[in-house]
Amino acid sequence: MKIKKVIAFAIAPLLLILTACGGSSAKVNNLNADDFASDIKNPGVVVLDVRTAGEFASGHIENAINIDVESGSFDSEIAKLDKSVEYAVYCHSGRRSGIATEKMAKAGFTKISNLEGGIQAWMASGFPLVA
Radius of gyration of the chain (CA): 19
Fold for domain 25-124? Oxidized Rhodanese; domain 1 (3.40.250)
Q: What is the pTM of this model?
A: 0.80
In tens, the pLDDT along 14-44 reads 333 333 334 445 689 999 999 999 999 999 9
Of 126 and 5, more confident: 126
Residue-range domain boundaries for the chain: 25-124
Size (the chain), residues: 131
Alpha-carbon span 112 to 35, nearest angstrom: 13
In tens, the pLDDT along 64-95 reads 999 999 999 999 999 999 999 999 999 999 99
* C-alpha distance from residue 48 to each of 14, 86, 130 (Å): 38, 10, 14
Alpha-carbon span 69 to 97, nearest angstrom: 8
Determine what percent of the chain is predicted with pLDDT higher than 70. Answer: 80
Determine what percent of the chain is predicted with pLDDT higher than 90. Answer: 79
Residues 6+ apart with CB under 8 A from 63: 40, 47
